[in-house]
Amino acid sequence: MHKKEQVTVKTISLKEPILGENIELANRNRQFFESHKICVLNIISSPGSGKTTLLVETLNALKQTLCCAVIEGDQQTDNDARRIAATDVPVVQINTGGTCHLDAGMIGRAMENLPLDGIDVLFIENVGNLICPAEFDLGENAKVVLMSITEGEEKPIKYPLIFHLAKTLVLTKMDLMPHLRFDLDLCIRNFRQINTAAEILTTSAFTHEGLQQWLDWIFRQRKLAAGS
Amino acid sequence: MHKKEQVTVKTISLKEPILGENIELANRNRQFFESHKICVLNIISSPGSGKTTLLVETLNALKQTLCCAVIEGDQQTDNDARRIAATDVPVVQINTGGTCHLDAGMIGRAMENLPLDGIDVLFIENVGNLICPAEFDLGENAKVVLMSITEGEEKPIKYPLIFHLAKTLVLTKMDLMPHLRFDLDLCIRNFRQINTAAEILTTSAFTHEGLQQWLDWIFRQRKLAAGS
């Protein structure tokens, strides 16, 4: 009774009109960000990969040097925004309700509620979802994909779009390595099948392993965005 | 410079026609499953929560007693179907491409490629995503939501729809508890805000903690579906 078949399901996309409008709004955001020399990082991962935890550590480390702001995307709750607000960095929470991603229009409206003059780096924490947020340009300088090493080595090949589009892969929860059967080399090989250019950073928000490399990466993106 | 504002973003849903068609197809699947007395479990979680690992252990434990089959949903790759096939249980892989969930039509087509006569339990492993799969009825008897304890306590309130709809919550990777700052009581309290009726199972596919309770739950669902 052993049987395995491939069923390739083709679906007709109803998303083109939505994505087309999104590109226009994303370009509008991008023009604003460029004219204000704001570096915008769109952070995407599965639920529970540690986006907010890394962001809190990042803001605490950066806030004496760079002027930062945060847009938090969640289906429900403002838990994450409250954690960010505790760092004294300005933050706006977007609750998307049933929607599984942030889009450029939501970002445009959130920007009206943020003091963006003088901001060096705007972090956008997307809704926890490895799939849908990848398709929506927000006008950012770079997409950052986070992946906790508890999620297994094959995620880059199972969810290829976001891993392909990311400018850096941040592996999180490295402190758990001794307790997992996680093959880091295999994970990196899988990622390299999808993305040959992105940087790969190994981090732990608890031990601060790799935090300086992550901060250095942000500073480089900031310099690129500022044209300096 | 401390600021926090709520921006509630209202979006016009373009999904109603798609969901309406899905309900029709789901009812067609359900009629088939009912007439064949097949118990169908739709397993939903974030990427990397351990769906396939739990399923492999489950099939190895059940296959002498119950006749099982599996439909595997992934954006890309047939890695999971190959892991299931190694248990000698019949499996069909659906690759959804860019689509972030399984829908009832995909299940209907996959069923044509599965030997469903005499099957007691059909497991459907949905695409790794806590959001979109919740909206799509597949004709199943029950939705099962898995959550790894590495994902943090607040997931039930941040992604309420799937936690609300689930007939059981299976917490996975309990073997990692000594290495995490995870508050199980808080997680359960959060879940109970969203769902007062579902069972809560704590499991580890590695140590087999809670595996028997999970198998017992499956047997009860099977009895309900068989009307015995």
- The pLDDT tens digits for A47-100 are 999 999 999 999 999 999 999 999 999 999 999 999 999 999 999 999 998 889
Which carries the bigger pLDDT value, residue B134 or residue B1? B134
Which chain B positions have a beta carbon within 8 Å of A91's beta carbon?
3-4
Q: Contacts of residue B176 in chain A, CB cutoff 8 Å?
A: 150, 176, 179-180
Cβ within 8 Å, pair B132-A5: no
User: B127 touching A, CB under 8 A?
Assistant: yes
Q: Where is average pLDDT lowest: A140-144, B73-77, B216-220?
A: B73-77
Residue that wins the pLDDT comparison between B16 and A62 = A62
Residue with more model confidence, B65 or B4 = B65
- Is the predicted pLDDT of residue B21 greater than 70, yes or no? yes
Q: State residue A221's pLDDT score.
A: 98
User: Predicted confidence band at B10 (pLDDT cuts at 50, 70, 90)?
Assistant: very low
| Among chain B residues, CA nearest to A153 | B48
**How much is the pLDDT for A3?**
44
Mean pLDDT for the stretch of residues B79-108: 94
pLDDT at B148: 98
* A contact test, residue of B113, B151, B153, B173 with most A CBs within 10 A: B151
A9/B96 CB distance under 8 A: yes
Q: How far is B216 from chain A (nearest CA, A)?
A: 24
Q: How confident is the model at residue B97 (pLDDT cuts 50, 70, 90)?
A: confident
How high is the pLDDT of residue B135? Answer: 94
Beta strands in chain B (DSSP E): 4-8, 39-44, 68-74, 91-95, 121-125, 142-148, 168-172, 199-202
Best probe of the B interface among A62, A80, A154, A177, by most B CBs < 10 A, is A154
Q: Residue A73: which of A106, A121, A37, A50 has the closest Cα? A: A106
Query: Which is higher by pLDDT, B171 or A13?
Result: B171
Residue B100 and residue B129 in contact, taking contact as beta carbons nearer than 8 Å: yes
Reported in sequence order, the residue ranges of chain A that DSSP labels E, i.e. its strands, are: 4-8, 39-44, 68-74, 91-95, 121-125, 142-148, 168-172, 199-202
User: Mean per-residue pLDDT for B130-151?
Assistant: 97
Cβ–Cβ pairs < 8 A, chains A and B = 203
Task: Note whether A133 and A126 are within 8 A (CB).
Answer: yes
Q: Which residues of chain A have pLDDT under 50?
A: 1-14
Chain B CB contacts of A114 under 8 Å are 3
pLDDT at B8 > cutoff 50: no
Inter-chain CB proximity A115 and B159 less than 8 Å:
no
Q: What pLDDT, on the 0 to 100 scale, is given for residue A15?
A: 55
Sheet holding A68-74, edge to edge: A199-202, A168-172, A142-148, A39-44, A121-125, A68-74, A91-95, B4-8
Q: What ranges in B112-201 are assigned the alpha helix state H?
A: 155-158, 160-165, 184-194
Give the pLDDT score at A168.
98
Residue where the block lists tokens 């490895």: A130
Predicted confidence (pLDDT) at residue B9 exceeds the cutoff of 70: no
Residue B160 has pLDDT above 80, yes or no: yes
In this prediction, does ipTM exceed 0.85? yes
Confidence check: pLDDT of B210 > 60: yes
